Structure 1
Amino acid sequence: MTVRLLVSLVGALLAATATHAAETVPQFGTYASLDRPRGTLRGSVILLPGGDGRLGIRPDGTITALLGNQLVRTRHAYVARGFATLTLDAAASPAQAVQYMRSIARPVILVATSRGATRAPAALSARPDGLVLTSAMLDMFQASAGSPGALPRTLVIHHRKDGCRVSLPALVDPFIAWAGGRARAVWLSGGTDRGDPCQAAGHHGFAGLDAQVVSQVSAFAGSLRVSR
């Protein structure tokens, strides 16, 4: 057994033992999958995957589609770090999700990737404590949000060589300027790049960089201070 495979298996085992089984949330039917860690909660992370957002969530909370999406494939890594995670199907309301997760643990962080970022503005009225946009369609987010006034503290995570035509690196600086001091960017490099430049196996999906993305999001969540 190679060292890399052993590390991967140990990581998967630790993540599995740190979580309860996934479950659906009554408020969302089978359109949201909730995972909670054992012990003290550090906060809540709501995940808005990209693509068509249809996750094929079963009544027991099992996700059957978009399993390669960067947020879907790393959701248990957040649970292993002490965060309750709610992974949303495209049919679920992001604003209602923020309200629900606030009752579980704060801070409540909304994380949206790629096309999922176009759904994120719908959550701003519910006032999440933080927002993370990864490989996001930033210009479409801006058009939908209209004004940066409702933005919480925001982190943009982008790959320097993202080749997807709708999330090019050139969109990041204009977005940061538009946000007016409410957002900052973290740039990642390296990893692997295969196939369609807008899919999860390349730089757009942070292939080979999952641990770095999870670490950045977790550190951002830990930096937030909320009133109880």
Structure 2
Amino acid sequence: MRGACAADIQNTVTVDAGETVDIGGVTSILVRAKHPNGSILLLTGGDGRLNVMASARFTEGADNVLIRNRDALVNGGYDVLLLELGTNLAAATDYMAKLKRPVVIVATSKGTQRAAEGLAQGARPDKLVLSSGFLSEASGPADSVASLLKSPALLPSTLVIHHRDDRCRWTNPAGVAPFQAWGGKRVEVIWMSGGNDDPENPCRFSAHHGFAGQDKTFVSHILQFIEK
């Protein structure tokens, strides 16, 4: 954790009912449901940094589609872990499994790369959700989930949520079909459309890439998949 500067303090978010937890020397934020049906780990996009501080506070990534919907997922009946950059995903999965199974990793954008790296290194969640993902070679000019995993055998039951009009150059909708073909029966796809867009920032939370204006529907798809 780096020291907080004046700008960080101004942007500090305190997570309601949250608690800081140490997993392998990295501090993340846990929010517990009253009567949990399972556990969800959130992997944000961008550089993955939340800058978690004491007392369940953080300064970065609050607008990300996963982080901004943390309360909706908790209210849906799940313990939720907001993962800080550098957290060992296998250790975090095991940590949450001790609280309540099933354990579901939910990753978005560049976080889908980190999810794949974690699976390749031994993380074994019960289910996986990839939204606006770096899925296959056709997704764009970056390492993809498929290339990082190398074998679909490492995929648990997986939901892909993608916007038909995502214009981020790393998450081209054309990458979805090849990934689904690669993953076979393990992969289910939900396409979203509509909502709000930000033509000047196509890879941001405020664009189709971040499912802007569609939070309720987005969360509903995740919860329905977990509850199957």
- Fold match, TM over 0.5? yes
Aligned equivalent of 1:71 = 66
CA contact (8 A) 1:31 1:91 kept: no
Q: Given the alignment of the two structures, is residue 200 of structure 1 paired with residue 205 of structure 2, yes or no?
A: yes
Choose which of 19, 23, 26 in structure 2 pairs with 1:27: 23
Q: 1:26: Cα distance to partner? A: 2.4
Query: Is the CA contact 2:45–2:111 (under 8 Å) kept in the aligned structure 1?
Result: yes
In structure 2, the partner of 1:15 is: none
The percentage of counterpart residues that share the same residue type is 45
Q: How far apart, CA to CA, are the structure 2 residues paired with 1:98 and 1:24? A: 16
The structure that is helix-richer by fraction is 1
Structure 2 residue matching 1:128: 3-state secondary structure:
coil
Q: Distance in 1 between matches of 2:150 and 2:168?
A: 24
1:55 to 40, 50, 56: 50
Listed one character per residue, the Cα deviations across residues 191-216 of structure 1 (whole Å, up to 9, x for unaligned) are 00013101110000000011111101
TM-score by length of 1: 0.86
Provide the residue aligned with 2:8 in structure 1: none
Match of 1:136 in 2: 133
1:176 aligns to 2:171 (yes or no): no
Contact 2:26 2:87 in 1 (8 A): no
TM-score (norm 2): 0.86
CA separation of 1:75/1:210 partners in 2, compared to 1, >3 Å: closer, same or farther?
same
The alignment covers a number of residue pairs equal to: 205
Distance 1:59 1:202 in 2: 31
Cα deviation, residue 27, structure 1 = 2.2
RMSD: 1.5
Verify the 8 A CA contact 1:30 1:61 in the aligned structure 2: no
Structure 2 contact 29–82 (Cα < 8 Å) conserved = yes
SS where residue 154 of structure 1 aligns? strand
Kindly report which structure 2 residues correspond to 1:36-115, keeping only aligned pairs within 5 A, or say none: 36-38=32-34, 40-115=35-110
The correspondence for 1:158, drawn from 157, 162, 168, is 162
In the alignment, the residues of structure 2 paired with residue 120 and residue 193 of structure 1 have an alpha-carbon distance, to the nearest angstrom, of 26
The residue identity in structure 2 corresponding to 1:198 is: C
Q: What amino acid maps onto 2:48 in structure 1?
A: G
